[in-house]
């Protein structure tokens, strides 16, 4: 904390300080929202899939998950190489704020209960606030196969 001794400040000065603090907080919140998009992830993913010409939308019939990718650990050669946090399923299905420039990986598990098939998709929320489908893979090597694309997306963020 700043360490202000509030006892020595008059009531009017405190009210002025409080107004200035609230104004600054509002400014910062609005500034942060300029770089974010209010959207439902699964809806945006399905829109991007449709734009790509694929008609195999995300259904979560047998489950699945979404992860925000923040880095790559090339000492691993599986899904653990993709660093970041998983998105709670409830959050992915309701409107939330997402930062432009975010890289997502989604795993949708379809097929039958006995013969499940996993489809991994790499998405990017671009600087215009549009979700892009960057790559699709259905192999166990999906993470390694996505490394180059993820690095390209991180480079796009640095250049912007």
pLDDT, one tens digit per residue, over 55-97 is 888 888 889 999 999 999 999 999 999 999 999 988 888 999 8
Show me where the domains of the chain are located.
Answer: 9-36, 40-159
3-40 burial code (b ≥16 CB/10 A, e <16): eeeeeeeeeeeeeeeeeeeeeeeeeeeeeeeeeebebb
pLDDT at res. 60: 86
* pTM, 2 dp: 0.78
The ranges of the chain with pLDDT < 70 are 1-3, 28-31, 160
10 Å CB burial of residue 148 (0-12, 13-18, 19+) is exposed
């Amino acid at each position: 904390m700043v360490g202000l001794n509030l006892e020595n400040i008059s009531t009017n000065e405190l009210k002025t300080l409080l107004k200035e603090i609230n104004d600054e907080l509002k400014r910062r919140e609005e500034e942060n929202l300029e770089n974010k998009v209010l959207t439902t992830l699964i809806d945006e993913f399905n829109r991007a899939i449709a734009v790509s010409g694929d008609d195999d939308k995300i259904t979560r019939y047998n489950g699945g998950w979404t992860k925000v990718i923040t880095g790559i650990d090339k000492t691993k050669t599986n899904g653990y190489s993709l660093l970041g946090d998983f998105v709670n399923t409830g959050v992915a299905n309701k409107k939330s704020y997402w930062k432009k420039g975010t890289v997502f990986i989604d795993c949708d598990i379809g097929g039958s209960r006995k013969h499940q098939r996993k489809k991994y998709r790499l998405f990017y929320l671009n600087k215009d606030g549009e979700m892009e489908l960057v790559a699709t893979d259905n192999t166990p090597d999906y993470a390694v196969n996505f490394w180059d694309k993820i690095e390209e997306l991180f480079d796009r963020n640095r250049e912007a």
